[in-house]
Amino acid sequence: MQGGFARTACFFAVAALLVALAPAAQANDAPPCRQRAELLRLAHPLTHVAKKLSAGKPITVVAIGSSSTQGAGASSPGASYPSRLAEELGRQFPGNSFKMINRGVGGEEIADMLKRFDSAVVAAKPDLVLWQLGTNSVIRDHMIDDHGRAIRVGIEKIRATGADIVLIDPQFAPKVIVKTEAQRMVDLISATAKQENVDLFRRFDVMKSWYEEDKLPFEAFVHPDGLHLNDWSYACMAKGLGVAIAEAIKRPVISATAMPAAAGSLPHHDW
């Protein structure tokens, strides 16, 4: 088992190097893309995707969410996080085929997304579903009081397809954090993911670390509207999510809590 831990830690380091050597998506004067390794570790291996890749089969990824999935704030559709992530996965798994389907619709809340899950997610026969949720409920003061029931409904719909699942929580941005319920939403999504044994990409904490630890001003990674990401932050998010997904695909199937020390030994990825 210790050998598995070492291989996983080694993969983090190699993956970070590979991404660092990839062509930069931003101008030379852009800030470095820094993310703590422990924020990139998904709790569970992505076993369905791993099996299909090992068989040489193509992978279909569905990204469902609201405007920050759709790509609001980006300079073009190609600068959205799903488009950038497709490029990252291609670099992480050269020779494999990844089909990225962007099902983001601006303004939607969880209930709106659930209404179109059958057509937008299930019908695509996904292998991996990335579900970004929670932001619009927070900024509209529509806090969810169902203890995660609506999220679990979506999770069960995805599970019925056999796909792996990664939840993505709200962004750390001025129009979100000004709301008193922002942290409660982040905690609710985290608790539900843990209860349902599904993965969570901690976007809120990743972006918070840019602000509090790297001392980046909001103008560096938030669109002037105070809510959405910009080209730099979409690209940086995609790099981190790509490393997280790749590690979870390649990880030996062991305890989800098995490697905190190894992750902590790599304090940051610098891209």
d(CA 105, CA 148): 21
8 A C-beta contact, residue 83 and residue 43: no
Domain extent, residue 6, equals: 2-270
- Per residue, the 3-state secondary structure of the chain, as one string, reads CHHHHHHHHHHHHHHHHHHHHCCCCCCCCCCCCEECHHHHCCCCCCHHHHHHHHCCCCEEEEEEECHHHHCCCCCCHHHCHHHHHHHHHHHHCCCCCEEEEEEECCCCCHHHHHHCHHHHCHHHCCCEEEEECCHHHHHCCCCCCCCCHHHHHHHHHHHCCCCEEEEECCCCCHHHHCCCCHHHHHHHHHHHHHHHCCEEECHHHHHHHHHHCCCCCHHHHECCCCCCECHHHHHHHHHHHHHHHHHHHHCCCCCCCCCHHHHHCCCCEEC
Cα maximum dimension of the chain:
48
Q: What is the pTM assigned to this prediction?
A: 0.85
98 closest CA partner among 39, 133, 46: 46
How are beta strands 34-35 and 59-65 bridged, if at all?
unpaired
Angle at the Cα of 117 from the Cα atoms of 112 and 118, rounded to 5 degrees:
135
CATH code of the domain in which 80 resides: 3.40.50.1110
State the residue for tokens 């020390």: 261
Give the count of domains, the chain: 1
Supply the pLDDT for residue 138. Answer: 97
Over residues 124-164, the pLDDT tens digits come to 999 999 999 999 999 999 987 888 999 999 999 999 999 99
Supply the pLDDT for residue 145. Answer: 80
CA distances (Å), origin 247, targets 32, 37, 43, 84: 22, 11, 11, 18
Weakly modelled stretches of the chain, pLDDT under 50: 1-27, 254-266
d(CA 223, CA 257): 35
d(CA 105, CA 119): 13
Supply the pLDDT for residue 28. Answer: 56
**Dihedrals φ, ψ of 147, to 5°?**
60, 35
